[in-house]
Amino acid sequence: MDIRFSPHNLHLESLDIFVQQDPNLRALLNQKLVHKSSLLDELPQGEPGIYTITGGRQIGKTTLLKQWMVQIIKNNTPTESITYLTGELIDDHHALVRIVMDSLKEKSRYLLPQYLLIDEITYIRNWDKGIKYLADTGLLENVVLVLTGSDLVVIKEARMRFPGRRGVSDNVDFHLFPLSFYEYLKLNNRITSDEICNLVKAGASASKGQITILYAEFESYLIHGGFLTAINDMAVHNRILPATFATYSDWIRGDMLKRNKQEHNLKDLLSGVIKRIGSQITWNALSRDLTIDHPKTISDYIEILQSMDVLYVQSALLENKLAAAPKKAKKVIFSDPFIYHATNAWLNPCKDPFEMLLRPQIDSPESCSKIVESCVVNHYQRKYPVFYIKAKAEVDIAYIDKKRFWPLEVKWTGQLRPKELKQISKYSNGKILTKSYTPGKIQGIPTEPIPLNLLRLGYVDRQE
């Protein structure tokens, strides 16, 4: 093996050495809260094919791969059959083919299948040409090839270039999201698994004490979101460290600069998104308010940020077609509360970023309400196609399930005005998600506490 990859392949010495000395696994030993993604049980074991894992940078894809290596070794996969490569050290598809061929030659032909994990594949120029060549020559016939990448657009396009070479598994593409509210509760364990089950099943009958804890945890989630580094900062220091903010804002800035985008344009755009978060906007209207004066430039920047899992673009719904309305305005939101706060900390530096982090929730209930709405949208879009309804009035969310849409109004306020419910009252299957501790009805429309709804969404998803 090329010695450059040796620090990530310590499993070849022993599993104990791998767990204790691998850079990613060693970091886990120092964390107070360690998460094991549900993807660990969904990734292939023993079924040859070409698999992909996508997700934003710094979300934990590398750690997931290392945890999976430990898991399959414990399930009696020979350590010699597993090779980990990082795309950061491979220049182009020629080097990729050479390294992969050398690696496979080193393996015993009796150790089948082979496991080849290539992390951050999109660092490699023309990587898809290399993978296609290896597949066409039959060298990957008995290989479980797992590729990870942070650029969703590039990796999706490249996956289309080798159809019929992916293997026979039902699921070959996986996406790693930040922790959901349900996953955070499971990790934090302030509410036990039995209590979570009781909360989901009890609903209105849940005790006030349980609901109070649930809301406290949700307010914490609105600060650190689903990012493990931020979650552990809060668990250990009761604040998010400036270095954590910098790590994530530097990732956004660095990846945009690699794509030859301008930092001042990026700042201008993100400032505009923060001011209009959750509001209907068009690229033309946005261009009139920003120093970026061309709608196409705005569209390009937003598309890249969406492919990086920084932003999510929510389209209006064509109700009769259950599809996006291409000519209507869109909403642009951040993909996680922490990404919103990290971006805000970068755009508005101050002596204590944590104090700035709290300010939107203390000084601006409207900003907090928008963060909550974005949080709900992001939870639903992980599982369903999600839109909003633009008619005479607006409905915050319309998700598609069982060949129909289900409208949701999200209200993180103490009082609701009748005109705010004008549109959702037209739908028999509408629901209002509220700040209230208890379910009920408003103008005949069922209501449900927002934290309880998100908890139920994650719980049901894990039972399916």
Q: What is the 3-state secondary structure (H, E, C) of 397-455?
A: EEEEECCEEEEEEEECCCCCCHHHHCCHHHCCCCEEEECCCCCEEECCEEEEEHHHHHH
Res 45: pLDDT: 85
3-state DSSP assignment of residue 148: strand
What ranges do the domains of the chain cover? Answer: 3-175, 181-463
Residues forming beta bridges with residue 442, ordered by sequence position: 445
Give the rounded distance of the alpha carbon of 95 from its chain centre. Answer: 31
Question: Following DSSP, what letter does each residue of 71-127 receive, concatenated?
Answer: HHHHTT--GGGEEEEEGGG--BHHHHHHHHHHHHHHS-TTS-SEEEEEESGGGSBTH
How far is the C-alpha of 250 from the C-alpha of 374, rounded, in Å? 23
User: Largest alpha-carbon pair distance within the chain?
Assistant: 71
How far is the C-alpha of 410 from the C-alpha of 390, rounded, in Å? 15
Task: Kindly give, in sequence order, each residue whose CB lies less than 8 Å from that of residue 195, ignoring residues fewer than 6 positions away.
Answer: 210
Please report the sign of the dihedral spanned by the C-alpha atoms of residue 399, residue 400, residue 401, residue 405. positive
3-state DSSP assignment of residue 306: helix
Nearest to 412 by CA among 448, 450, 454: 450
Backbone φ and ψ for 87, nearest 5 degrees, come out as -65, -20
Q: What Rg do the C-alpha atoms of the chain give, in angstroms?
A: 23
Please report the sign of the dihedral spanned by the C-alpha atoms of residue 407, residue 412, residue 418, residue 420. negative
Res 358: pLDDT: 47
**Host H or E run for residue 220:** helix 208-224
Res 107: pLDDT: 74
3-state DSSP assignment of residue 316: strand
Please report the sign of the dihedral spanned by the C-alpha atoms of residue 59, residue 64, residue 65, residue 66. positive
Res 363: pLDDT: 46
Nearest to 322 by CA among 421, 406, 391: 406
Architecture of the domain delimited by 3-175: 3-Layer(aba) Sandwich (3.40)
Res 129: pLDDT: 94
How far is the C-alpha of 179 from the C-alpha of 375, rounded, in Å? 12
Residues forming beta bridges with residue 118, ordered by sequence position: 85, 147
Question: 167 burial class (0-12, 13-18, 19+ CB within 10 angstroms)?
Answer: middle
Report the interhelical angle of 127-136 vs 152-159 (nearest 10°): 30
| Beta-strand relationship, 330-334 and 311-314 | antiparallel
Residues forming beta bridges with residue 323, ordered by sequence position: 318
Give the rounded distance of the alpha carbon of 308 from its chain centre. Answer: 9
pLDDT tens-digit map of 89-106: 999 999 999 999 998 887
- Low-confidence residues of the chain: pLDDT under 50: 353, 356, 358-363
Res 462: pLDDT: 64
39 close to 67: Cβ distance less than 8 angstroms: no
Task: Kindly give, in sequence order, each residue whose CB lies less than 8 Å from that of residue 404, ignoring residues fewer than 6 positions away.
Answer: 322, 429
Please report the sign of the dihedral spanned by the C-alpha atoms of residue 248, residue 250, residue 256, residue 258. negative
Task: Kindly give, in sequence order, each residue whose CB lies less than 8 Å from that of residue 72, ignoring residues fewer than 6 positions away.
Answer: 45, 82, 115
